[in-house]
Amino acid sequence: MKHIVVLTGAGMSAESGIKTFRDADGLWEGHDVMEVASPEGFARNPELVLNFYNERRQQLNEVEPNQAHKDLARLENDYKVTIITQNVDDLHERAGSSNVVHLHGELRKIRSTVNHNDIQDWTEDINLGDLCDNGHQLRPHIVWFGEAVPEIETAVKICYAADILVIIGTSMQVYPAASLIDYVQPDTPVYYIDPKPAIGSGGMITVIAKSATEGMKELLNIFQRKKP
């Protein structure tokens, strides 16, 4: 069974109503990203940061997986599929995908501000004064700017073993995630779905300049034609 590795970014969830990470003006939901997505921002104003992610977490209750999420889950009927996502929502899992690696953390998880391995599932708000068992403030389980990306080595190994790489809805500008394309074998087919693709077709790369849902529809047709 061929192994499809899928790298997804903000464009994957945009059609579900989740805003992309940064709007054209460089703000995230009206905030400078460094205010709400950096350790320094958290140190300056932890209540602002906690409330910001509380709102993002609540928004997950109002959105549903889109057709592209569902189509990726369907691929598991015929392929081994591993999804490496830059998104912090849980829409891949809710659509039925069973093997998802979250590079940048998860909104529905929390961790201790001191022990980064003390991670728990969490669906409610996080407030100042909410403490882990060792008495330290809890924070969102999100990888902020300037922090290490714990899952990147796992993602590199997954890409190295891919038979096919699919990239959906990412600008290929955020590192280290954007470097993962460099770790697939030279003869690995790459399909890049994005309405404003940052790279062009050529060699093993096929660009599908469409939204996630329309692009996945086209990709499924390609895979169907290539079946023996």
The residues that are catalytic are 104
- Please choose, from the candidates 199, 202, 178, 177, the residue with its C-alpha nearest in 3D space to the C-alpha of residue 189: 202
Question: Whole-angstrom Cα distance, residue 221 to residue 206?
Answer: 14
Chain-centroid distance of CA 121 in Å reads 17
Helix axes 67-74, 212-226, angle to 10 degrees: 20
Chain-centroid distance of CA 22 in Å reads 14
Chain-centroid distance of CA 151 in Å reads 12
- Please choose, from the candidates 205, 188, 99, the residue with its C-alpha nearest in 3D space to the C-alpha of residue 151: 99
Question: Which DSSP state fits 184?
Answer: S
